[in-house]
Amino acid sequence: MIIKRNTLQEIMDTGLILVQERGYNGFSYADIADAIGIRKASIHYHFPSKQDLVQAVLRRYRKEFMYKLQQINDQDPSGKQKLESFFKLYRETLENNTKLCLCSMMAAELNSFPTEIRDELNQFFKANTVWVHDVLEQGKSSGEFSFSNSALGQAKTLIAFVQGAQLLSRTSGDIGYYDSLVSGYISSVVQ
């Protein structure tokens, strides 16, 4: 059986990997073309400009991430388990060739982008914050969690923390750095 290839998806898949590994200014259409065995012009057919491409990649990334957060809600009972699953999502990009969250990478290169992409990035971080906020608030009122902050303040802190943790862990070359940071954080929040 012949499997029909979906060039558009392959381009986005490779584009995602390359931004996460090298950043927006660190790869070219030639890199994608080489990686999947097509010509540069074919990429321009699907995505006329490089910014069209990363914007599409970004939107898909955000949707898929939201779906994963929803899955955690559907499956995990305790607040602690939800947090652990959340940190596991960020761990998985590190595990996979020490990539960073797409949105951290693009946030670092923020000045390379127009408003629409900045908005997309903020929506990603905002949605992360809202999700964590819900988990923390529920855990605080049930007595599972304990922190002196407001739940919203603590949620914002957690998002900053996880982005920084990923960055430092990759730089150190040791994923154990991430694990150690995360387990310390969780134990400081959980009773």
Partner DNA sequence: GTCTATAAGATGATAGAC
Partner DNA sequence: GTCTATCATCTTATAGAC
By the criterion CB under 7 A, which residues form the site for DNA? 5, 7-8, 27-31, 37-42, 44-46, 48-51
Closest CA to 83 of 170, 169, 168, 147: 147
Closest CA to 13 of 65, 51, 60: 60
Asked if 32 is part of the footprint of a second copy (rule: CB under 8 A), the reply reads: no
| Residue 88: Cβ within 10 Å count | 13
Asked if 148 is part of the footprint of a second copy (rule: CB under 8 A), the reply reads: yes
Q: Of a second copy, DNA, none, which one sits near residue 38, judging by CB under 5 to 8 A according to partner kind?
A: DNA
For the bound state, the minimum distance from the C-beta of residue 66 to DNA, rounded and expressed in Å, comes to: 26
Asked if 112 is part of the footprint of a second copy (rule: CB under 8 A), the reply reads: yes
Q: Of DNA, a second copy, none, which one sits near residue 14, judging by CB under 5 to 8 A according to partner kind?
A: none
For the bound state, the minimum distance from the C-beta of residue 160 to DNA, rounded and expressed in Å, comes to: 30
The first and second tokens of residue 52, run together, are: 């069209």
Alpha carbons 176 and 6: distance in angstroms, whole number: 37
Nearer Cβ to a second copy, position 30 or 168? 168
Per DSSP, the residues of 83-102 read HHHHHHHHHHHHHTTT---H
For the bound state, the minimum distance from the C-beta of residue 10 to DNA, rounded and expressed in Å, comes to: 9
